[in-house]
Structure 1
Amino acid sequence: MGAAARALKVMGFDDLVLVEPRWDNVLRREETIQRASGANDVLENCRVVATLDEALDGVDHLCATAMTPRDFGPPTQSPRVHFEQLLKRPTARGDNGAQLVQPTGVAFLFGSERFGMRNDDVYKANVCLSIPTNPHFGSLNLAAAVQLVAYDWRLAVDQWVVDTPAPQNQVLADSQTVQAMLNHVEQALVAISFLDPHAPKKLMPRLNQLMSRAQPSMEEVHILRGMAKAMLQTAAKATD
């Protein structure tokens, strides 16, 4: 339960309801608090009720979860497909021409870790969500299922932008500077006997093409020139 609370908080949700939990003190158990890993506010605000009907107060669209489709009951869809359809409902129209209303209270129903979902509970749902998994091994623990559904719901209702470092304003080296660096590198390659000046083949033209594609900055050119300088110094010591 602690891991499920953590999964909710990571995705920006905090409305957790437990229906007739196995342990009355489940929210205060040491393991629960440890696995919540800082999501204590979700545990503190969690509601504990005796029946599913109590938990569904104010809910007008219930999504149950199940690993495999059932022969009878609500339609089965993957979370992303259903969420996309659900959030497009205000612009859709029913068979009688009436506009379909987007639900205001959406809830997600998960079964217990040990026994899963009861059929009678699934029948109360508008849809049964099935997370796409390996067809030969699709068993997810409760917290993992909560995390995946919460992630897809977050993407559907309000995608968060990933913070990325602002690009640094690097000064690109001009062609004259790059050519001077390549001349320096050529001297170093000759000094360490990597390049035969009498049979250079296409090494330097290819390095020219490499630098043209790379568009090195001034700092990167300085690094390469420093390497060439060190190579020349090492070669000079070897000949002393």
Structure 2
Amino acid sequence: MNRSAAPLVRELQPGEIGPAAAGLVLDALAARRDPVIGVATGSSPSPLYAALSASGADFSRAAWFALDEYVGLPAGHPQSYAEVLRREIIEPLGLDPQAVHLPDPHREDLQKACDEYERSIAAAGGIDLQILGIGRNGHLAFNEPGGALDSRTRVEILTEDTRRANQRFFDSLDSVPTRCLTQGLGTILDAGQLLLIARGQDKAEALRAALRGPVSPECPASVLQLHGRLTVLADPAAASLL
């Protein structure tokens, strides 16, 4: 893979990120008759979803695909990403739940579930705009350091750092799942356009490594440098090392 054009990086005040990101999503929705949007969970994209909800736009023509899902949580668990998407996206945006897709973590054959998810994305025509956050260890979706840069949707083992970062959503570290299903880095790079949202000082080093360091498995998010249509929206704290 060859390095592509430099990303568009916009440093915005915290209150500006949601509306700016929503504008990009609304543009993507308007550009196709049946748009496909990839959605991320976590704290970084929350202002985006709030801004979309306040926009009053019609989202009924779109299909939505999640980046990842935990393995090992029972159906309906409040911290499963299926439930997070229900609370933050499906209900606020008035979406048809059947239009929002996640990889199935309850299948006996998890890799088969991953392969079917890849086929579902392809059958929808591919993702037009993929929303992303970044982990403080540089993970993208749940692609942890050390994995292949051309990976496809698969089972991933979560690092202790990632589990500790997500512990705030659970009763204890022991309650945080150790495995997940995640879109691969190659899957993410297939999207027509990427939107990365980074907020907070704890993301500054990861964002610097992703955008200014070498493209390396040690920083999975560095593959973003290989995509020709990347927009980064970061608050001053997250952008402080750029």
TM band (smaller chain): under 0.3
Q: Which has the higher helix share?
A: 1
Q: Taking CA–CA contacts closer than 8 Å with sequence separation of 6 or more, which of the two structures ends up with the larger relative contact order?
A: 2
TM-score normalised over the length of structure 1:
0.26
Larger radius of gyration: 1
> What is the TM-score with the length of structure 2 in the denominator?
0.26
